[in-house]
């Protein structure tokens, strides 16, 4: 088995057929309608909602602005309970709304916010919970909804990783008050940059549409201090083409996932995340956890892979609670977050994308199996 000649990145985006995209561009050039709820945008919102099995989609220019706007739309203030084991945008979106994040520990298997730890963090200032379906693995949604209902809290999901993930045949994007998606180039479904808010009724959809367009309800009416977070026509046209291959791309990812799962299952000190039988996954990430019994430390494994042109990543290390804007918060103390701290110190994300070759996956697994001795 040969070291790859070129860097193998943690992910590579799938792109639509260039000729088909060119045909769409011709329509765009002729219409000269480039943004602000154009024909592609309207069609993409409808087709995406149907594809995902949700009622309403409001498209956004990226997932971060979608989350910032989702929190605005529900007028969330005060304290919000969230997870430190995520991409930093989850907490930044709270910060941009003047909300104080309250970090909660996570479960040791999936790395999702741990409902058992939430209740003791609730105070009169708590207004909402912002969980993340980390790596696309569904959070404990029924328990999160029970807590939200009991304490009168809003539930807004950062579902940036959860494109088309289903539980018992239904989209997990239907849980809670709102869910946000990211269509960044590194995601299982991309529109280069992009995102969306999933909501369950037409009034909320209208409000989100106003908010992402400066708060305009019509030419002369501004109903809220909105922002500019619209997806443009070029990306919507690209997204429509991406939808055509979304299922087959996920299917290709599932094959890569299975190769890893089979090859790594008996390596002492390497833990992977199981997928429950009632979950249809999107296979967007392949995290492994390097446990103390493994021959090398996580950071040594990270370095050894890089020496061999395998550009692994440590999603999510450091924890968000360790970054300077947040580390002085009382809830950021590692003593409050033992499981999240442990996961962040042991995680490594292996490359996964639709056309990653079997040979490369075998090379990666062989390196892990032999502790880089071959």
Asked if 352 interacts with ligand T4K (CB under 6 A), we say no
Could you tell me which of 283, 312, 285, 286 has the C-alpha nearest to residue 372?
312
Residue from the set 14, 58, 86, 282 that interacts with ligand T4K by CB under 6 A: 86
Q: Is 132 helix (H, G, I), strand (E, B) or coil?
A: strand
Name the minimum Å distance from CB 265 to ligand T4K. Answer: 26
Asked if 349 interacts with ligand T4K (CB under 6 A), we say no
Q: CA 111, CA 139: separation in Å to the nearest integer?
A: 9
Asked if 4 interacts with ligand T4K (CB under 6 A), we say no
Q: CA 76, CA 73: separation in Å to the nearest integer?
A: 8
Residue from the set 72, 73, 90, 284 that interacts with ligand T4K by CB under 6 A: 90
Instruction: Please answer whether residues 297 and 290 qualify as being in contact, where contact means their C-beta atoms are separated by less than 8 angstroms.
Output: yes
Asked if 282 interacts with ligand T4K (CB under 6 A), we say no
Q: What are the φ/ψ torsions at residue 74 (nearest 5 degrees)?
A: -95, 5
Which span sits near ligand T4K by CB under 6 A: 57-65, 99-107, 264-272, 339-347?
A: 57-65
Instruction: Please answer whether residues 309 and 337 qualify as being in contact, where contact means their C-beta atoms are separated by less than 8 angstroms.
Output: no
Residue from the set 122, 311, 329, 369 that interacts with ligand T4K by CB under 6 A: 311
Q: CA 258, CA 356: separation in Å to the nearest integer?
A: 13
Could you tell me which of 266, 269, 331, 304 has the C-alpha nearest to residue 3?
304
Could you tell me which of 135, 88, 97, 83 has the C-alpha nearest to residue 283?
135
Asked if 79 interacts with ligand T4K (CB under 6 A), we say no
Q: What are the φ/ψ torsions at residue 91 (nearest 5 degrees)?
A: -80, -35
**C-alpha torsion angle, residues 234, 240, 246, 247 (rounded to 10):** 180
Q: CA 17, CA 20: separation in Å to the nearest integer?
A: 5
Asked if 11 interacts with ligand T4K (CB under 6 A), we say yes
Residue from the set 8, 10, 148, 211 that interacts with ligand T4K by CB under 6 A: 10
Residue from the set 73, 117, 171, 182 that interacts with ligand T4K by CB under 6 A: 182
212 is known as an active-site residue: no
Asked if 186 interacts with ligand T4K (CB under 6 A), we say yes
Q: Is 78 helix (H, G, I), strand (E, B) or coil?
A: coil
Which CB, 160 or 267, lies closer to ligand T4K? 160
DSSP H helical segments within 282-323, as ranges? 298-307
Which CB, 9 or 96, lies closer to ligand T4K? 9
Supply angle C-alpha 152, 153, 156, rounded to 5: 150
Name the minimum Å distance from CB 60 to ligand T4K. Answer: 8
Supply angle C-alpha 319, 322, 325, rounded to 5: 120
Which CB, 193 or 233, lies closer to ligand T4K? 193
Q: What x-and-dash track marks residues 126-165 binding ligand T4K by CB under 6 A?
A: ------x-------------------------x-xx----
Number of residues that bind ligand T4K (CB under 6 A): 23
Which span sits near ligand T4K by CB under 6 A: 24-32, 84-92, 267-275, 317-325?
A: 84-92
Which CB, 87 or 294, lies closer to ligand T4K? 87
Which span sits near ligand T4K by CB under 6 A: 24-32, 81-89, 253-261, 318-326?
A: 81-89
Q: What is the DSSP letter of 293?
A: T
Which residue is catalytic, options 55, 154, 187, 230? Answer: 187
Q: Is 232 helix (H, G, I), strand (E, B) or coil?
A: coil
Name the minimum Å distance from CB 93 to ligand T4K. Answer: 8
β-partners of residue 141 are: none
What residue ranges bind ligand T4K (CB under 6 A)?
Answer: 9-13, 62-64, 86-87, 89-90, 132, 158, 160-161, 182, 184-186, 195, 311, 315
Q: Which residues are catalytic?
A: 187
């Amino acid at each position: 088995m040969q070291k790859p000649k070129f860097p193998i990145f943690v992910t590579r985006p799938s792109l639509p057929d260039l000729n088909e995209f060119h045909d769409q561009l011709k329509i765009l050039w002729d219409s000269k309608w480039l943004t602000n709820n154009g024909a592609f945008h309207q069609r993409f919102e409808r087709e995406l909602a149907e594809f995902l099995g949700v009622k309403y989609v409001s498209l956004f220019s990226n997932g971060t602005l979608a989350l910032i706007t989702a929190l605005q739309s529900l007028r969330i203030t005060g304290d919000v309970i969230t997870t430190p084991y995520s991409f930093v945008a989850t907490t930044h979106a709270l910060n941009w709304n003047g909300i104080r994040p309250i970090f909660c520990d996570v479960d040791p298997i999936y790395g999702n916010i741990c409902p058992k730890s939430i209740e003791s963090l609730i105070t009169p200032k708590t207004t909402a919970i912002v969980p993340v379906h980390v790596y696309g693995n569904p959070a404990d949604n029924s328990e999160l909804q029970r807590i939200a209902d009991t304490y009168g809290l809003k539930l807004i999901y950062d579902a940036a990783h959860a494109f088309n993930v289903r539980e018992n045949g239904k989209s997990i994007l239907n849980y809670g008050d709102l869910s946000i998606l990211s269509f960044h180039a590194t995601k299982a479904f991309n529109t280069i940059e992009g995102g969306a808010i999933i909501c369950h009724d037409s009034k909320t959809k209208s409000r989100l549409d106003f908010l992402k367009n400066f708060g305009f309800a019509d030419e002369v009416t501004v109903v809220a201090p909105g922002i500019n977070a619209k997806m443009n026509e070029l990306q919507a046209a690209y997204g429509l083409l991406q939808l055509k291959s979304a299922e087959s791309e996920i299917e290709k990812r599932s094959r890569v996932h299975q190769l890893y799962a089979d090859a790594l299952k008996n390596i002492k000190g390497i833990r992977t995340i199981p997928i429950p039988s009632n979950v249809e996954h999107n296979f967007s990430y392949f995290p492994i956890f390097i446990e103390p019994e493994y021959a090398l430390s996580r950071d040594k494994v990270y370095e050894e892979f890089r020496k061999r042109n395998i550009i692994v990543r440590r999603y999510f290390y450091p924890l968000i609670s360790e970054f300077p804007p947040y580390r002085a918060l009382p809830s950021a103390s590692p003593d409050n977050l033992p499981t999240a701290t442990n996961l962040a110190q042991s995680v490594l994300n292996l490359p996964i994308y639709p056309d990653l070759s079997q040979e490369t996956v075998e090379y990666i697994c062989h390196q892990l199996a032999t502790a880089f001795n071959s």
